[in-house]
Chains A and B, each alone.
Chain A
Amino acid sequence: MSPVAFILVVPLFGAGILLLLPFHRTAALLNATASTATFFVALVLFVARPEPTAFFFVDDFNVYLVALTSFVACTASWFSAGYITHEVETGHLTGVSLRFYHSMYQFLTFTMLLALVANNIGLMWVAVEAATLTTVVMVSLYRTRESIEAAWKYFILGSVGIALALFGTILIYLAAQPVIGDGIDALAWTNLHARSASFDAGVLNLAFVFLLVGYGTKVGLAPLHAWLPDAHAEGPTPISAVLSGLLLNVALYAVLRFKMILAGNPGALTPGPLMLSMGTASLLLAGLMLYRRRDIKRFFAYSSIEHMGIITFAFGVGGPLANFAGLLHMALHSLTKSAIFFAVGHISQVKGSQKFADIGGLTTTHPWLGWGFVAGVVAIAGLPPLGLFMSEFLVVTAAMARQPWLAAPLVAGLAIGFAALLMRLHEVAFGEPRGSTERVKASLVPMYLHLAIVLVAGVFLPAPLVAWFQSVAALLGG
């Protein structure tokens, strides 16, 4: 069996089996085992790359995201095992919900990997839609009034987004059909990319606007970001980690694929300015919104919007350096933000609350958890020596080189977010201890593993990895 088939079949089967499995401990273990197996097979794709088919393909760009996705899905599943045990002990989740949770976890992994390896833009759309529906169900898992509202909002905005994306997909076909001919070939990304030069530029432009707004909704870009904080705050924390760390990246990946099609057509508009303005708007808006948040998960959800804004901005600037920075930031943000959500999950379980008002002085009461959280926040704020400092620095440099005034709103946004993060960090990690001092039973390994990678990436990025990122950056074009 080809590795591509394996990484899709394992989560899909896992989802089926877990739906039937009534024992939550076994289910959590199986969930983690399946995710780990998927991760290791995903690594095989680096060495044994299958030939592109009509439906699946693997290239330098998506193989990196496949590895990242399966890695975070793997660590998050181990985190989830500990998290779920606590939820069962406190009676927040029982029987059917739990079975559903584990099954949906695997199904979500399946849909994300499918979206990444799909060669067919129709199939990619189906995968993103399935991912949306799965996460909607996950967000409403606790069945509280708030979680239902969050899921509803997510569902309505997400559906509108994917509907617009489908319209864009149909328009891409319309542009491709006279050149490539009828049928399935005209939806294959490899064909679209190779022959986009002779497409009708006007149709491509119109299509891209729909695709950017449609998939952009799923990325959490302003002005269609309203679903994101609620969905993150009300769902189970492992899902918040996966949402922020992975699903947003997958949606952005879709946008970038279409950007590459446009880049191949001389008559088409340059997607740069559109992405720059959406990125800047998200960055500034989320930065300002960070100040008045009282819920810790909601706070970090806004921080995700901010970072997706930075990444979109980077790809909007374009060129080898900015693309490189964008790719690096995508990976490091994913690792850091999921580590933070792991920490937040432990914190909220210990304190029994997600409110900042109930959390304080963590470094004195829970040194390991507290300092891990500090490291995560320092990383996400973009302080050296952690990896995100480097990628943010590169984004600013690239923007400066392109257009000096472009860097102004970017730096302003970064500074606004930075101050908000440090303010909250002080309150949560230091200050007067507040709330319960119960010990953390779950393992902190996943969190520290992510943070270690982010630290290493900031201090020393191995030369082969740099070369790899550079080749992908070149692939993405200007």
Chain B
Amino acid sequence: MLRGLHFDIAHTLSVSVLLFSFALLYQRRIMGVLNAFALQALMVAAAAAWQAYSQEAPHLYATAGIALVLKALVVPIALKRIIMRLGIHRAIETVIEVNGTLLAGVGLVALSILLVFPVAQDSAALTRENLAIALSIVLIGLLMMITRRNAVTQVVGFMSLENGLVLAAVGVQGMPLVVEMSIAFSVLVAFIVFGMFFFRIRERFDTLDLQYLESFRGDRGQDHRP
């Protein structure tokens, strides 16, 4: 009975992370994307904390804490400030229409289930379903990176992809801390790098829209440094 409850709560939490992945896909404004991302990170933190409790693995609380502080609070707030300062809080340009991306997202969830279920038959049901959900979050993150032109939304797509990875890692019984720490660490480092990029891009183009970067492709560059 108690096991059933553990199972249901873990399920609910990981599915809600997936739901916010879809929420990320249908946002049409940058601020909306950041809010959806913050909520997704909150759900990841909750999922990690629940796994820490039910697996009796206290180190997972650290993962939950990192997700909560860094991804649900620090990163979205910092990104919002950057956006305000640069004055680019406007609509997002998409490569494919939002409806199309949502449909593709549903397709990716189906794909992940079809991929993971037959393979991981011997693993515990919870691990298996958790893994399928995590994979769909990873794939939707990829989809978001491909279909959004704006640098900030690409970054958010990448971080939501990392959320999927955290979810996968905490769902597997006894995964050592090293890996989770490294995930959190990588988000931090990635963010610093991203920040540097933003400022440099701002310096040069007055925009974060990657479309402007694409004028240069392959050999067309004019002024090459040796």
Contact = CB atoms under 8 A, between A and B. Distances in A.
B193 A126 contact: no
B28 to A, nearest CB: 22
B122 A155 contact: no
B193 A137 contact: yes
A59 interface: no
B209 interface: no
Contact of A129 (B120, B151, B168, B186): B186
A147 B176 CA distance: 38
A144 B119 contact: no
Contacts of A156: 145, 154, 158
B121 interface: yes
Contacts of A130: 189
A159 B158 contact: yes
A205 B118 CA distance: 12
Interface residues of A, number: 65
A123 B178 contact: yes
A241 B115 CA distance: 39
B165 A163 contact: yes
A174 B142 contact: no
Nearest to B200: A148
A164 B145 CA distance: 14
A474 interface: no
Interface stretch (B3-11, B15-23, B63-71, B216-224): B216-224
A184 B205 CA distance: 47
A182 B179 contact: no
A354 B178 contact: no
Contacts, number: 151
Contacts of B162: 163
Interface string A181-209: 11110110000000000001011011000
Nearest to B194: A155
A353 B226 contact: yes
Contact of A159 (B169, B175, B190, B196): B190
Contact of B122 (A167, A200, A294): A200
Contacts of A309: none
B145 A122 contact: no
B34 interface: no
A427 interface: no
Interface string A158-185: 0110011011011101100110011110
B90 interface: no
B169 A183 contact: no
B219 A298 contact: yes
B183 interface: yes
Interface residues of B, number: 55
Given A122-B182, A156-B145, A167 B200 contact: no
A158 to B, nearest CB: 10
B208 to A, nearest CB: 11
Given A156-B158, A206-B115, A122 B178 contact: yes
B158 to A, nearest CB: 6
A152 interface: yes
Interface stretch (A74-82, A313-321, A344-352, A387-395): A344-352
Contacts of A294: 219
Interface in B167-186: 168-169, 172-176, 178-179, 182-183, 185-186
Contact of B123 (A125, A145, A203, A348): A203
A371 interface: no
Contacts of B131: 171, 174
Nearest to B118: A202
B174 A183 contact: yes
A289 B27 CA distance: 39
B204 interface: yes
A177 B173 contact: yes
Given A143-B200, A148-B204, A149-B213, A293 B219 contact: yes
Nearest to B122: A200
B116 interface: yes
Contacts of A170: 165, 168-169, 172, 175, 179
Contacts of B197: 140, 148, 151-152, 155
A144 B223 contact: yes
Contacts of B165: 163, 166-167, 170
B126 interface: no
B186 A160 contact: no
A402 interface: no
A152 B219 contact: no
B47 interface: no
Given A133-B190, A137-B193, A203 B173 contact: no
A293 B224 CA distance: 14
Interface string A283-320: 00000000011110010000000000000000000000
A293 B218 CA distance: 8
Given A145-B216, A187-B179, A203-B119, 4 more contacts: A145-B204, A155-B197, A160-B161, A292-B219
Return the 9 tightest CB-CB contacts between A and B, nearest first.
Answer: A182-B174, A348-B226, A202-B119, A122-B179, A126-B182, A149-B213, A146-B221, A354-B224, A294-B219
22 contacts: A92-B226, A120-B178, A122-B178, A123-B178, A136-B193, A140-B200, A146-B216, A148-B200, A151-B197, A152-B197, A152-B210, A167-B138, A170-B168, A170-B175, A173-B175, A182-B174, A184-B178, A187-B176, A187-B178, A295-B221, A295-B224, A352-B226
Interface of A: 92, 120, 122-123, 125-126, 129-130, 133, 136-137, 140, 142-149, 151-152, 155-156, 159-160, 163-164, 166-167, 169-171, 173-174, 177-178, 181-184, 186-187, 200, 202-203, 205-206, 229, 233-234, 237, 292-295, 298, 345, 348-349, 351-355
